[in-house]
Structure 1
C-alpha cells in the first residue's frame, strides 16, 4: 500500500532573517487563528480515509509560533480525515527562542515526535550577521530541553560559507552542535537570494569565494561523518536510522500533499503549488493552486532526484537509458565525482559540490 506525506506551510515569523526568501509574514494572533481554520478546511477537502499518512511536516516560516492547541487541532483533523499511521514521523520546524520547557512538553502531547531546530551557527557573531534572534547558548538550551522533554529525534540546521567564515569557526560550530543530543543535521551552503537584505555588495564582498566555500563544504562532510552523522543527501546527515522520512519522499518521487500558502505538492499524478498569499488562503473556501507539472517524475526528474541521495541511482530502474549513462560514468569516476558498484552510481562529496553540472552531464 502506497503512503502519503502531508506538508503544512506555516507562513508566520517573529522576525524575518536577512538571508531568507521563503514566503512568510509577521505573526499576529488573530491571523494565526484564521489560518489554522483554513488549514482545517483544506484537510477536510482533501480527506481520504483510505490514504495512509506516515509523515507530517510543519514547515515555515516558524511553525513553533503556533500554539500547542492549534497544532493538536491540525493533527486531530489529519487523523480524522486520513489513515494516520501510529508510527508516523511528525516534524515541527522551530526557532530556539520559541521552545520553552512547558511548550516542549505540550508539543509532545500534541503528537509532535521530531523537531527541526533552526540553529544555523554556534557562534554569536555569525548569528547576529544572519539576523537570528537567538544566541548559541539559547540554541544549546533548546536542544537539551527538547531531549529532557522526551524528544528522541532532533534535527538541527547548520549553515556554511557565511560572511567571514573560516574553517576554524565551522569546526567549532560542528563540534559544539554534534556534542548535543541531536540525531540529524541539515547543513546548507548560504546563497544570496535575490531581493533579500543579503543581496548586496557589502555581504557579497564578505562571502567566501567558490573555492573557499567548496573547502568548507568538504570539511563539514568530514567533520560530521567523523562524529557519526553520515551523509545521505547533498545537504543532510544523520545517525543510522534517523534519516528524515518526510524529506526522503521528495527525493524518491513519493506522494506528498502540501497545505498552506506557498506549499507544493506531488499528489495523485500532478505537481501543484499554492498561491503565496496568506490572506487569499484564509479567504478562499479551498486553497488556490497552480498545476506546475501534469506528469511528474519522468526519467530526468527521477534520475536527478535519486542522484541527490548518497544511495544514488539504480541503473536497472532506468534500463532504457542505462547504456547512455554507462558511457559517461568512467570520466566522472576517474575525476572523483562519482562511484559505482556496477548496479548503482552515486556521487561523492566532491560530486555533490558540483551536483547540478554532474547530473546534467550524466542524464541529459
Structure 2
C-alpha cells in the first residue's frame, strides 16, 4: 500500500479508502490509485474494475422501539441483512428510536443522514418529520418509507401495503364472517399518528358503511401496540358492549386482544381480524381466537426498499413515488404457511 500511495502521489490513508470503497475520495483520485495498483501488480484487472464502479450505499433503517412483534421481526431481518451483506452490496445498519415520537424520528433522520446515503423508516406523518426529510433529500440523500407513509410530495418512496385497501379488506372479511346477525364492531390501533393506521381506519369505516348496515362501529381505541394496554382496552370493550361481534386490530400486538377474548370466553364468538403474520398471530390463528391476518411479507418490504435505495444511489432507479404496493396476503388457519 505504501508503494501504491507513492506511485499515485497520495497518502496511504487515501489508498486504504479507495480499496475499502469508503466515502470522501474524488473519482479522479480513485482512478489514479487503481492505475498505480494495477501497474504495480497489487490488484488484478477484475478487482480494479470492481473498485472503479460506484461504491454501494450506506443505508440506515430506523424502527420504533417497543413490543410490536411485526416491527421486531423487521428488526431481526435487518440485522440478518447487515450480517450477511455481499461485498458489493449496500452496507445496512438498523437503529431503534422512541415509538410514536415525531421529534425523535426527525432528529434520528438528520443525525444518520450525516453518514448514510439512504434512509428507510416507518414514517410518522408530522411536520417535524416532513421538514427533516425535506432537508436530507435536498442534501442529496435518498429516503424510503416502509409500512407507513408520509404525505405526498415529500420526496420519499414508499414500500408497503395499500393501507386503505387493507382496511376495506378487513371490513369485508369481518362483515362476511359476522353474517346477517350483525352487532357492534370495534377498532384497535397503535396510533393515528401513523398514516398507515389512519388510512386503514378510513378504508374500514367506508366499507362498513357501504356494505354492512347491520354492523355498528362503537369506536376506535389506541393501544400504542402494547399487548397489556390492548388487553385492558379489549376487556373494557367486551364489558361495555355485550353484543360485540367483531374486532379489527389496525396495528400490532394482537396477543393482548386475544388474551382478553379468551378470558371472557368469547374467542369463538367475536370475529377477530388483524395484521402481520408473527409468532403471536400464528398462535391465535391456530387456536381459533383469530379469524384472519392481513400480511405484507417483511422480506419483500425490506428487499424492495433496499433495492430502490441502492439503485437510486447508483443512478439506476426512478424518482420517488413510483413504487407499486407490496402484495397483500390474507392468511387464515387453514392456509398458514410453514414456519
TM-score (norm 1): 0.29
Larger radius of gyration: 2
Say which structure is richer in helix. Answer: 2
